[in-house]
Chain A
Amino acid sequence: MNVFKNKLLVRLSLVPVYIRRVGFYGYSFIFRINGNNPEKSVSTIFRTFYSLLDLSAQHSIKFRPILPSPFFIKSSYLWHAQQRYLLPTLWLLIAIIIGIAYLHDNYNLGMVALAGGSLPGFLATIMETEEADFVRIYISTKHFVARTLLETLYNTSLYLSPLVVTLSILFPAEWMVTLLFFPAILLLNVQLLWTKYAFYPSALLAGVIFFCGLLFQLALGITLYGLVIVPVYTVVLYLIFLKNIRSTISLDKTSINIVRRDVNDYSEFK
């Protein structure tokens, strides 16, 4: 294991040398074709760079491959939509940084990568705004609550499990802290989901409430009050979420003051 670790470290340390070498040969080539004139060479590089940018802007070249999403439930559209490139990219980056943390024997780096990488990804995914038409597609409030909760728990677990397990194996002394991170993120994601729909359609209000709630829970979490406040906060949030989503999906919004009238008494077309 140590031999492999050393070999990998040597290879990684050579990366800047390779970059420098490629850069040097590239610049030498441009220098030569510009008659050994340094000013001309620099302007050629910048001209090429800007013309490429301009070309891209003019023709709006977009690289949009349809990545398969092995992580997520097929119907969980939020996880497939706008962040379908962000989540896999973040996942790969976290995995790479965990590898680097292992090579440098730095557990904190791995944990920071896991928390700092996954949280923005989940925030961007769950807090995506959609029109009410999407929410109303659900057959009932009960189905909406069950489905969104299942998708959040399932997708978060699938996304985080390999990373958490890897970190626990690589740093066995810290396994308890690493595993505690897992339910904490699950709870946070559920709170995020319920906060979003509790204040739906206002994403701004939901965002503010989520961060305030998070700070509030963190502040009290240090003390013993946290043991009480976290479940109470979650239950209150759930009740507000339920009320708001019921009014969005519910079929019966009949208001007051019904004036009875014969059903067959239709007015005539003028």
Chain B
Amino acid sequence: MKELIIESLNKSYTKTTVLENVSLHYRSGAINGIIGSNGAGKSTLLNCMAGYIPYHGKIDRKNIETIGLLTANPYIFPRITGLEFIRFCLSAKNCKEDKQKMDRLNRLFELPLHKFADRYSTGMLKKLHLLALLLQQNDMLLLDEPFNGLDILSSAYLSELLQELKKQDTLIFISSHDLDHLVKIAGTLTIIENGTTYMKSEQLSEIQKKIEMHAYDKVKSLNLSL
């Protein structure tokens, strides 16, 4: 069982407080969705979870040794092929190259791995990073907007793959703006609002209803005649 325990997490950028006194507890066996408005602090929370940025508070990673992070805008070196990038990632994580597994996964994503990755589109670049992450067997996966830029089929494949990874005891976090998609695949949902409030709940349908009601009331109250 892998666990991530966040206690009194505070994160500020100069004078702007992004996360304030956040305390959360996650266990493996479920996909954890993170949702919030633009600039609410989703990416910051993921980076704190990974330990890539300094923060105040305590984050306890139980039985977690390897972490894979997919950033919202994945960066790639110029003049490096997709295959070379995957090989570099596997070597950096001390993983052996499983060519069969790579080929099987690439049958889903259909990436031209022998071409320069700087010629890839945004969606292809995201798929390449995802492919590298899925081959690494990380204990914890942090995916920032993984469905952005992916075509419908690839999104569906990724959802299925994440469900498989969940069964293998991987702790998975997904930040997204797509609530419908998250509700379908996530077991828990963390909401970051106004940078300071947060919530974690197992009752996703209720949250979805609340948000839909909130949106309905807001639009009605403005009395827009479109």
Residues facing B in A145-173 (CB within 8 A) are 147
Bound form: Cα–Cα A141–B22 in Å: 29
Q: Given A64, A85, A250, which contacts B116 in the complex, CB threshold below 8 Å?
A: A64
B50 touches A251 (CB 8 A): yes
Bound form: Cα–Cα A266–B22 in Å: 8
**Which label, helix, strand, loop or mixed, suits the secondary structure of the A interface?**
loop
B25 within 8 A of A: yes
Residue of B nearest to A252 (CB): B51
A136 within 8 A of B: yes
B79 touches A143 (CB 8 A): no
B66 touches A77 (CB 8 A): no
B25 touches A263 (CB 8 A): yes
A11 within 8 A of B: no
B5 touches A74 (CB 8 A): no
B92 touches A139 (CB 8 A): yes
B23 touches A262 (CB 8 A): yes
A247 smallest CB distance to B (angstroms): 9
B58 touches A74 (CB 8 A): no
Q: Given B89, B191, B197, which contacts A137 in the complex, CB threshold below 8 Å?
A: B89
A138 touches B92 (CB 8 A): yes
Residue of B nearest to A83 (CB): B79
A153 smallest CB distance to B (angstroms): 16
Q: Given B8, B78, B207, which contacts A82 in the complex, CB threshold below 8 Å?
A: B78
Residues 78-100 of chain B, each 1 if its beta carbon lies under 8 Å from chain A, else 0: 11110011011111111000000
Bound form: Cα–Cα A134–B59 in Å: 23
B59 smallest CB distance to A (angstroms): 7
The residues of A that contact B59 with a CB separation of less than 8 Å are: 254
B56 touches A255 (CB 8 A): yes
Q: Given A66, A75, A258, which contacts B58 in the complex, CB threshold below 8 Å?
A: A258
Residues facing A in B189-215 (CB within 8 A) are 191, 193, 197-201, 207, 210
A265 touches B61 (CB 8 A): no
B63 smallest CB distance to A (angstroms): 13
Bound form: Cα–Cα A84–B94 in Å: 24
What interface size band does chain A fall in?
A: 35 or more
A261 touches B23 (CB 8 A): yes
Residue of A nearest to B75 (CB): A131
A167 smallest CB distance to B (angstroms): 30
Q: Given A133, A259, A266, which contacts B200 in the complex, CB threshold below 8 Å?
A: A266
A267 within 8 A of B: yes
B115 touches A77 (CB 8 A): no
Q: Given B7, B21, B23, B92, which contacts A75 in the complex, CB threshold below 8 Å?
A: B92
**Given A77-B77, A77-B84, A77-B88, is A258 in contact with B197 using a C-beta cutoff of 8 Å?**
no
B179 within 8 A of A: no
Bound form: Cα–Cα A268–B65 in Å: 32
A177 within 8 A of B: no
The residues of A that contact B210 with a CB separation of less than 8 Å are: 269
Bound form: Cα–Cα A265–B198 in Å: 11
Q: Given B7, B55, B114, B191, which contacts A253 in the complex, CB threshold below 8 Å?
A: B55
A75 touches B87 (CB 8 A): yes
B7 touches A267 (CB 8 A): no
The residues of B that contact A76 with a CB separation of less than 8 Å are: 88
B155 within 8 A of A: no
A203 smallest CB distance to B (angstroms): 15
Query: Would you give 27 A-B contacts (Cβ < 8 Å), ordered by A?
Result: A66-B114, A66-B116, A74-B84, A75-B91, A82-B79, A85-B79, A130-B77, A133-B71, A133-B74, A136-B50, A137-B89, A138-B92, A139-B65, A143-B92, A253-B54, A254-B57, A255-B55, A256-B56, A257-B56, A258-B56, A261-B21, A262-B23, A263-B5, A266-B198, A266-B199, A269-B193, A269-B199
Using a CB–CB distance below 8 Å, which chain B residues touch chain A? Answer: 5, 7-8, 21, 23-25, 50-59, 61, 65-67, 69, 71, 74-75, 77-81, 84-85, 87-94, 114-116, 191, 193, 197-201, 207, 210
